[in-house]
Each structure stands twice: as structure tokens, then as C-alpha cells.
Amino acid sequence: MNHSLLKPCLSMTALIVILAGCGQKATPEPTRPQNTGMDSPAGAMDPAKPAPVAQPAPFTIEYRMITYFPTCRGNTRVKVGPDGKVWFQRSDKDCPRGEDFSAPYPEQPKVALDEAGRGRLLKRIVGGGFFDLKAPPRGPVSDGYREEIEVTLDGRSLTVTVHDGARLDGWNELKSALLEFTH
């Protein structure tokens, strides 16, 4: 056997193998969820089951529209509790002096929001930047009404007040979402 021909053939074969290997993309092994290490079957992750959806953080929110006139007729409020129950009350008679509403909230809520509904409302609170809002300045004449939205979330509480229908981005969208429960 002629060794002078064998060396170039081996070099050429090695070069072909190396080039062929460089052109292929390695396909990674599909990843599988790892066992959490807990001994109970409930602690093991099942790849066939979707991950649990995070529940919205508990929050409370209340919208109030209060007239400056000497009557409280028409004053309106909507409250969403931490459990998603929604109460609505509109004053339909005069109030005692110093009171903004003619009656307490009804005993039964108007509706109860599911997790998705609470999540959408929470998204308006957080995504709309409610805790960063600054109330617009009060105009020179304020003889109509004031509107307030009060939110408590994660230990923080803030009430933002606007007068006579002033526009405030983030606030108006949240107000509209709450007023949907008055119909």
C-alpha cells in the first residue's frame, strides 16, 4: 500500500467530516418539567396540565360622584370589594345635613366579578398608573360636583379627586369601567 496517497485521502476525509458537522444544527432535547422534589403526587409537575393562573392581588376600589348643591339627590357610588363583589348606590332622596348619601350600600351586591373581571379591573388600576396620578387643579368656579376614586392595593391607599368633570388620563378609563356596573 502506498502511504503517500493515504495521507491526502485521510486529510480530505477528515475535512469533509468536519465541514459536514459544521453545517448541521444540533437540535436540543425537548425540556421536560422537573419534579419539584416534593414526595406527594400533588407536588409533582404534570406536563399535560397548564400552569395555574395567578389570581389578581386583592384590592378595593370605590367611585363617588358628589354634588355641591344643597341636595344629595343623584349622588352615586360604586364599590368593588376584595372578593370581587360590586355594590352600587344612587341617592334618590335628600340627605341629612353633612351626609353625602341618602342610604347605605344595599345588603346584596349588584354583581360579583370572577377572577378575569377582577384581573381586568386591576389591569386598569396598575396599567393606568393610578398610584402615580395627580389630581388636576380645581377651576376658578366649582359649583357642580366632585368625583373621587379611592383604591387600596398592596397596603397602599390613594384617593384621587377631580372637579366638574375634569379629564385625567388613566382616571377616566377606570371611572368608565366602574360605571359599567351601574346599568
pLDDT per residue as tens digits for the range 111-135: 999 999 999 999 999 999 999 998 8
pTM of the predicted model as reported, rounded to 2 decimal places: 0.67
Q: Which has more confidence, 167 or 90? A: 90
- Residue 177 reports pLDDT greater than 80: yes
Contact by Cβ (8 Å): 149, 61: yes
Evaluate whether 86 touches 109 at the Cβ level (below 8 Å): yes
22-30 long-range Cβ contacts below 8 angstroms, 24+ apart:
none
The correct answer on CATH 3.30.1560.10 for the domain covering 59-182 is yes
- At 71-115, the pLDDT tens digits run 899 999 999 999 999 999 999 999 888 889 999 999 999 999 999
**Maximum C-alpha span of the chain:** 117
The residues spanned by each domain of the chain are 59-182
CB atoms near residue 152 (< 10 Å): 15
- Cβ-proximal residues to 105 (8 Å cutoff; 6+ apart), any chain: 77, 79, 87, 88, 89
d(CA 81, CA 61): 7
Instruction: Give pLDDT, residue 118.
Output: 92
pLDDT at residue 141, as a whole number: 65
Is the pLDDT at 17 greater than 80? The verdict is no
What confidence category does residue 170 fall into, taking pLDDT thresholds of 50, 70 and 90? confident
* Interval 21-80: pLDDT, tens: 444 444 444 333 333 333 433 333 444 555 455 566 789 999 999 998 888 999 999 999
Which sign does the torsion angle of CA 121, 123, 127, 133 carry?
positive
